[in-house]
Structure 1
């Protein structure tokens, strides 16, 4: 059981490393504004995410099955809680791979946060550029075309004082 768990975590580390590489490629695509590259990266991510879900489900099933065999009824158990229950050699190896997995997950989260910020900044830039390109009339009150000019005293009209007495 422990060796199977180690293999699953090793596979999860490998998938996360690949996702991290793709996250960097995604950052480059966003910086360049290359939507085709961005789309290609996202298409490569989809099967990896699916694989990660399967590995996680297998990991959870394996741990649940092992707990049932040992008579341990506990939900939400962590690897750290299980480590003392395994032989020392396997426990150390499992702990090392778990640490690597956590490091890869943190790295991926940080890269995804950076990519999200880059996308938000790009969107802001596009919106500012679009706003700058739209014609705007900031001085409607002085243009002579505003609703205030609908009164009876338009320029060119004679006022009461201009009439003959």
Structure 2
């Protein structure tokens, strides 16, 4: 068995991660534009891609384990580094290139997600600040004439509706 199936699985993972990076950039644009419809659509697309990545990664694990069994190793932890010790020539170079490209895409995705997270947190702080400014505080609700010193507990214990009426 050659390493071609493993290479194909890694190439598929790389392609899916590149698509996921594109959706992360689209998500940033939707967040900046405050377009909730577009954001919802991007999140649904992102969920599909994540499921596809999980499937592709499971396929990569299966093919790597098969490759290792074919080489006489019954290892279940067939990492890319382990595979590289059993490959040579063009297959080895291709696996190394795919590994580097995949790591680069994962790093880019992590950075983009961090940027999106910070932007969303900033938006939430702004919304909370706006709500705090719009909603009056409890001490602002009740007016008390300075000449009429009423007990504060009595003032706040009154209901807005008189139950005896």
Normalized against structure 1, the TM-score is what? 0.81
Say if 1:68 and 1:129 are closer, same or farther in 2 by CA, change over 3 A: same
Q: Is the aligned partner of 1:127 residue 2:128?
A: yes
Q: Is the aligned partner of 1:48 residue 2:49?
A: yes
2:36 maps to 35
Say if 1:72 and 1:33 are closer, same or farther in 2 by CA, change over 3 A: same
Say if 1:137 and 1:97 are closer, same or farther in 2 by CA, change over 3 A: same
2:18 maps to 17
CA contact (8 A) 1:2 1:90 kept: yes
Distance 2:61 2:92 in 1: 17
Deviation of the 1:114 alpha carbon: 1.0
Q: Deviations over 1:57-83 (max 9, x none)?
A: 000011112222323133433212221
Higher mean C-alpha displacement, 130-139 vs 100-109: 130-139
CA contact (8 A) 2:61 2:78 kept: no
Structure-to-structure mapping, 1:126-165, within 5 angstroms: 126-136=127-137, 138=139, 143-144=144-145, 147-148=151-152
Higher mean C-alpha displacement, 121-130 vs 68-77: 68-77
2:163 maps to none
Instruction: Extract unaligned runs of 5+ from structure 1.
Output: 151-165
Instruction: Extract unaligned runs of 5+ from structure 2.
Output: 155-165
1:110 maps to 111
Say if 1:142 and 1:43 are closer, same or farther in 2 by CA, change over 3 A: closer
Normalized against structure 2, the TM-score is what? 0.81
Structure-to-structure mapping, 1:93-108, within 5 angstroms: 93-108=94-109
Say if 1:140 and 1:73 are closer, same or farther in 2 by CA, change over 3 A: same
* Structure whose alpha-carbon radius of gyration is higher: 1
Distance 1:62 1:118 in 2: 39
Say if 1:96 and 1:149 are closer, same or farther in 2 by CA, change over 3 A: closer
Distance 1:71 1:149 in 2: 82
CA contact (8 A) 2:65 2:78 kept: no
Which 4+ stretches in 1 moved above 6 angstroms?
A: 139-142
